[in-house]
Structure 1
Amino acid sequence: EALVKIRAASLCRSDLSVVTGARPWPLPMVIGHEAAGRVEKIGAGVTGVSPGDDVVLVYLPQCGKCERCLAGQPWLCEAGGAANRRGELLTGGTRLLHRGEKVNHHMGLAAFAEYALVAEASAIRIPPGVPPQDACVFGCAVLCGAGTALNTAAIARGQSVAVIGLGAVGLAAILGARAAGASRIAAVDKLESKFALARSLGATASALPEAAPRRSFDHAIECSGTLEGFELAMALAQRGGKITTLGLPGPEVAHPLKLAPLVVDGLAVQGSYLGSCITQRDVPRFVELYRAGQFPVAKLVSHRIGLEELNEALDRLAEGQALRQVIAFDAT
């Protein structure tokens, strides 16, 4: 395990889901699953990071030993997922106490705090010099959004893409589509106010849902986590197209999928978790794209706040008034 001094952490709807109860989590829990920091101490068995290393913390530790990891799909790590659902570390158990009572870790991190004790697999070393307020969004938004475009959808150069839902993850998907060499990238959302930012990140067109051209794209990437967004993705994909959904709805949400169009139009529908990322490979890969100027992730951040403003920030998130909101613990 590694003791990490948190330098910046950002808010995601998954944090909000703990507060609202939209998804079941073991309580009490320290939330926060998208963060960057600096390693202060390590356990005797740690070899991947050292004291003084800058790290991005990732919300699914990949054990490298379970069936999915050995099958080359560590983004579906069974051990990491099970530990997260229990509110524990990958290494087993919890490390947090409040007045002598056990407190659970959100996704193995519990990052809305000055320090986090995490499993080694949760901390990915990055080069020094990346501002922590930028680095933190790589742990979730960039992995999920850009990873979906580059890994799960595997967009090929010259293909066309529609991205539905322009939150931070959808905007990161646009960055990934641009990096993949997509020829057309349509940004689709209910709010026209989001279009200018989407275009600045690489979208070549923007449209309200009702105006988006039907059956026109090789890829439709659904980032809103709504039934309407999924139905729109199905409508935008052309024959032979691929629909990839990564917006995570509530567990009770179901869709009456019509099977005939899948067959007649040769459509492929797939889900994407963690952007199909191998974290030890993809965090450094995406940080290098950032350092090369191709991933201007600072544009995904709408607010910079102190930890004491967390409740107000959660309200903004619930009301749809924010992209990523970064809690700055330590800018040095």
Structure 2
Amino acid sequence: MRHVRAAVLREPGAPLSVEEVTLDEPHAGEVLVRVEAAGVCHTELHYMSGDIPCPLPIVLGHEGSGVVEEVGPDVDAVAVGDRVAFTWRPRCGFCEFCVTGRPVMCVYGRVQARSGGLMDGTSRLSLGGGPLHHFLGVSCFAERAVASQRALVKVPDGVPPAIAAVTGCAVITGVGAVVNVAGQVAGKPLLVIGAGGVGLSAVMGAALVGAAPVVVVDVAAEKLALARELGATHTVDAAGLDGDAVVAAVRDLTGGGPEVAVDAVGLPSTLGQAFSALRPGGTAIAVGLTAVDASATVPVNELVQQQKRLVGSLYGSANPPVDLPRILGLYLTGRLPLDALLGEQYPLDKVNAAYRALREGARGRAVVVPGG
């Protein structure tokens, strides 16, 4: 066992506290990783506010990368010295979802989320001799983390730690929603609502596959400017606009509505706008999360008569061991401009400042660097 500094959430509504916690050695099939970078994702805000419950106290952070320092028994996927990215949905390889090609629905993802443990439901973390939980099997707002080898993917040489970190969640979610769910969209209009890390990644995915025009909606002018840099052909500043005005603007820019609309915000209102804006036969893809009791309504006759579709996409509906290396390969060849996605970097002690900036609409994906 060892002592590491980590960002702990003790109760909903409270700031994170950077504390010294105890981290046990990895068990069979598990790996100790020295964390190099951890992305500042909006998902944590839902847990920090209590909108989505989780076992407490807990070490947050689910989007990260690092270097393998130690492996437990029966580890064969990675070795000491390997650079890896964390994935918060493990791929066990033998449950119903894994063997039928839907690994992001792996049953062990739910085990980790509900128990606050790793794949066996138990924790390697403790605080002052008391219990401390893992967040989605990762907990990378820490100097070191223990995770299952099934939740790690090797990172190719030449990929910076911050790029590897954000690709493990935001990028694979946004790019995957377009590449894995949207279907053939080359030359077809596509809408993205929300220009945060996931939405901007969807924009890059849309540009990659040749969607046109690509329209982005957000309430922050600076985020919309970045969206244009990353491939948006048109933007709609929704600040001060009601939903009907947003839908009208999108339909005008797309000649009657987009073929595909990606809602990267997750509010009932934005999901409604995505669905309403679609042209007949279009597909709305929901990727953003919100409070557990939130719901949205769909006009039934519009759904049927216009043959619209509304689908959910978790983690880009991806197969992370396959898709994440492919995405990083596209980055290395210059096909995905992921460097432009990065925002500010913060030391671990400033993690609360990073989330304040996120709430205030900071541009790009911020990264916490636990080592300094």
TM (norm. structure 2) is 0.86
Provide the residue aligned with 2:272 in structure 1.
231
After superposition, give the CA deviation of every residue in 1:88-135 in whole Å (9 maximum; x if it has no partner): 111431101111112100010110111111000111001122110221
**Matched position secondary structure for 2:296:** coil
Give the RMSD, CA atoms, in angstroms. 1.5
**Matched position secondary structure for 2:251:** coil
Q: Report 1:8-23 matches (<5 A).
A: 8-23=37-52
Number of residue pairs the alignment of both structures matches: 331
Give the C-alpha shift of residue 330 in structure 1: 4.7
> In structure 1, how many angstroms separate the alpha carbons of the residues matched to 2:160 and 2:356?
26
Q: Which amino acid aligns with 2:203?
A: I
Distance 1:273 1:280, change over 3 A: same
5+ residue gaps, structure 2, are 1-29, 239-245
**Matched position secondary structure for 1:239:** coil
Q: In 2, are the aligned partners of 1:18 and 1:31 still within 8 Å (CA)?
A: no
Task: Tell me if 1:302 matches 2:343.
Answer: yes
Provide the residue aligned with 1:255 in structure 2.
296
> In structure 1, how many angstroms separate the alpha carbons of the residues matched to 2:91 and 2:363?
30
Distance 1:92 1:251, change over 3 A: closer
Provide the residue aligned with 2:22 in structure 1.
none
> In structure 2, how many angstroms separate the alpha carbons of the residues matched to 1:195 and 1:324?
14
**Matched position secondary structure for 2:97:** helix
Task: Tell me if 1:37 matches 2:66.
Answer: yes
**Matched position secondary structure for 1:59:** coil
> In structure 1, how many angstroms separate the alpha carbons of the residues matched to 2:197 and 2:274?
18
**Matched position secondary structure for 1:303:** strand
Match of 1:194 among 223, 229, 248: 223
Q: In 2, are the aligned partners of 1:68 and 1:74 still within 8 Å (CA)?
A: yes
Match of 1:60 among 89, 95, 100: 89
Give the C-alpha shift of residue 304 in structure 1: 0.7
> In structure 2, how many angstroms separate the alpha carbons of the residues matched to 1:277 and 1:76?
10
Give the C-alpha shift of residue 322 in structure 1: 4.8
Q: In 2, are the aligned partners of 1:156 and 1:180 still within 8 Å (CA)?
A: yes
Give the C-alpha shift of residue 32 in structure 1: 0.4
Q: In 2, are the aligned partners of 1:4 and 1:37 still within 8 Å (CA)?
A: yes
> In structure 2, how many angstroms separate the alpha carbons of the residues matched to 1:100 and 1:86?
19
Segment drifting more, 124-133 vs 24-33: 124-133
Provide the residue aligned with 1:284 in structure 2.
325
TM (norm. structure 1) is 0.96
After superposition, give the CA deviation of every residue in 1:76-96 in whole Å (9 maximum; x if it has no partner): 112222222211111431101
Percent of residue pairs bearing the same amino acid type: 35
Match of 1:208 among 237, 245, 254: 237
Q: Which aligned runs of 4 or more in structure 1 are off by greater than 4 angstroms?
A: none
> In structure 1, how many angstroms separate the alpha carbons of the residues matched to 2:334 and 2:120?
36
Q: Which amino acid aligns with 1:162?
A: L
Task: Tell me if 1:77 matches 2:106.
Answer: yes
Give the C-alpha shift of residue 157 in structure 1: 2.0
> In structure 2, how many angstroms separate the alpha carbons of the residues matched to 1:299 and 1:139?
16
Q: Which amino acid aligns with 2:96?
A: E
> In structure 2, how many angstroms separate the alpha carbons of the residues matched to 1:254 and 1:126?
38
Q: Report 1:1-332 matches (<5 A).
A: 1-209=30-238, 210=246, 211-213=249-251, 215-330=256-371
**Matched position secondary structure for 2:282:** strand
Q: Which amino acid aligns with 1:7?
A: E
**Matched position secondary structure for 2:216:** strand
**Matched position secondary structure for 1:72:** coil
Q: In 2, are the aligned partners of 1:60 and 1:84 still within 8 Å (CA)?
A: no
Q: Which amino acid aligns with 1:140?
A: C
Q: In 2, are the aligned partners of 1:91 and 1:119 still within 8 Å (CA)?
A: no
> In structure 2, how many angstroms separate the alpha carbons of the residues matched to 1:314 and 1:193?
18
Q: Which amino acid aligns with 1:31?
A: L
> In structure 2, how many angstroms separate the alpha carbons of the residues matched to 1:183 and 1:320?
27
Q: Which amino acid aligns with 2:232?
A: A
